[in-house]
Structures are given as C-alpha cells and as structure tokens.
A and B are shown apart, each in its own frame.
Chain A
C-alpha cells in the first residue's frame, strides 16, 4: 500500500500492525453555492457520510412536505444511491481525489399549478 498523504489518517491499534488508509481529497459542488465543500476522508468512508456532511455544509436536508425531497451525491454523471458504498469501492484503489455534485431529487406527491 502506498503511503498516505496525511499521517494523521493512520489507524493504530495496540497489538496490531498499523493500518494505513488511503486519504481521498473530496470536493462536493452544489450549484447555488459559490464555493464547494472540501474535506479529506479515509478511503473507507462511506458515501452516506460524505453526503451527510456536505449537506450540513450547504444547509440543506432531506424532507417531506406535499413532495419528497432527497439529496444525492452525483459522481461522473451517476447518482449514488448506495450510501453504504465506500470511497475505495467507488473509486478503486489509489485514487486520491474525487469530485461530486450534490443534487436534489423531488418526487411529487401531487400535481398543482
């Protein structure tokens, strides 16, 4: 395994060999916001975690009124619905950065004007 970019991402457990995780620099863009969300994550981080943290950054949340509003991360034009998928699984090994878009899916519960 290649060395990590940031040493503080190494996971050290007493009596066990050090496990060095890859660090992925993640960028999430949201169209109404002028600046994206930036954060470095270990590659075992799930898409769900990134979705939650970027949504908090942009001040948006899933909700239901007459319609159902859900936010998704989009990667290379594909909406990511498996929130348990890790960065490593999504990107493959040794990918050190990833760009996502945050998009909203509104499922209408009724029609109106």
Chain B
C-alpha cells in the first residue's frame, strides 16, 4: 500500500483553500443543508492542497443531515484530476449548527477510505471560520483518527501563498467555479 499511497507527513493548506472551502459550503449551510468539497493536490511527504472542488449539482445530494456524492461525480473528478497529476487529499464537509464538528458513523463509513486521506468537518453550517475549531481526521489503518491538538499544529501548515484553484463539479464534469457564481 505504501507504494500506492505514499506516506504523508504534513499538509500545506493555503488560506485561499480554507476561504474557498467556506465559500463553497456556506450557501447550502445557510439553507440548512450539509455540503462539502474535495481537496486535491500532489501526494508528497509534504502534501500541498492546491485545488478546492466544490461538489454541487447532478449526483450531489445536499440534505439537512446528510451529504452524498454519487460514483458518477467521483468519476468526473477522477477524469479531470488524473491528467493534472492531482489526487484526492481530503474531503471537507459541514455540519449544521448544534451538531458537533466530528465524524459521524456515516461520515466514517460512507466516505473515501484510503490511507492518508483527510476528512475535515466544519461546524456551524460553514460559518466556523477558525480551522482550529474544525474536526481534522486522517484515515489510518482501517478507520479515521482525529488529530490531537499538537498534531494539528505539527502536521498542518496554513500558508498565505496564492495561486490555488477553485472548481465546481458534478456528474457532468468539472468547471472553474467562476462559471457558476
């Protein structure tokens, strides 16, 4: 598995990625629905998340207590990502107000389960701006494990550099986010 999923020691997440993530999920959150994004980048020892892909439209269900992405959406994102040498580094989604930003059973088992993939839960329907208050998990062994406080400091680097990209995807394909906004 190591060859297929090279180990990741730390992740670089830019402020742009964090902002793009919040922008991508807030609209649904304010309507009382869960929503989420994919984080893509190159898988290196230090993995930099360089693209936020907002998932919305055909094949994406944004419901009050559930957010689901169909296999067709995964396929569309895969077709787009592979020629760009991007792979899935993380999935971020929101929980609504009053729901703890922690992975539910469904989140753990319905989502992507591959070594080193992050699963991030943003509370307050996407209005929680401080990433330190989000739930940060990494898939290890056979399940997701929550980051400790020290691990969040040690393994996550929040970077102010720019140049990251924002996209929107559904089962029909991936487009620059500006097209839809």
Contacts from A to B (Cβ < 8 Å): 29-36, 57-60, 65-67, 72, 74, 77, 79, 101, 103-106, 108, 111-113
Contact = CB atoms under 8 A, between A and B. Distances in A.
Contacts, number: 86
Interface in B57-77: 65-66, 71-72, 74-77
Contact of A31 (B6, B72, B88, B109): B88
A32 B88 CA distance: 4
A77 B88 CA distance: 19
Contact of B72 (A35, A60, A79): A79
B147 interface: no
Contact of B82 (A36, A77, A111): A36
A94 to B, nearest CB: 24
Which of A58, A60, A77 lies at the interface centre, i.e. has the most chain B CB atoms within 10 A of its CB? Answer: A77
Mostly helix, strand, loop or mixed at chain B's interface? mixed
B61 to A, nearest CB: 11
Which of B6, B105, B115, B117 lies at the interface centre, i.e. has the most chain A CB atoms within 10 A of its CB? Answer: B105
Interface in B27-77: 42-43, 65-66, 71-72, 74-77
A76 B79 CA distance: 9
A113 B4 contact: no
Contacts of B113: 60
Contacts of B77: 31
B109 A101 contact: no
Which of B42, B43, B72 lies at the interface centre, i.e. has the most chain A CB atoms within 10 A of its CB? Answer: B72
Given A60-B114, A77-B75, 17 more contacts: A29-B78, A31-B112, A32-B5, A32-B88, A32-B114, A33-B87, A34-B5, A34-B87, A36-B82, A57-B4, A59-B115, A60-B113, A74-B75, A77-B72, A79-B72, A101-B74, A112-B105
B114 A33 contact: yes
Contact of B105 (A32, A58, A66): A66
A77 to B, nearest CB: 6
B106 interface: yes
B4 A108 contact: no
Contacts of A79: 71-72, 75
Nearest to B74: A103
Contacts of B75: 74, 77, 79, 101, 103
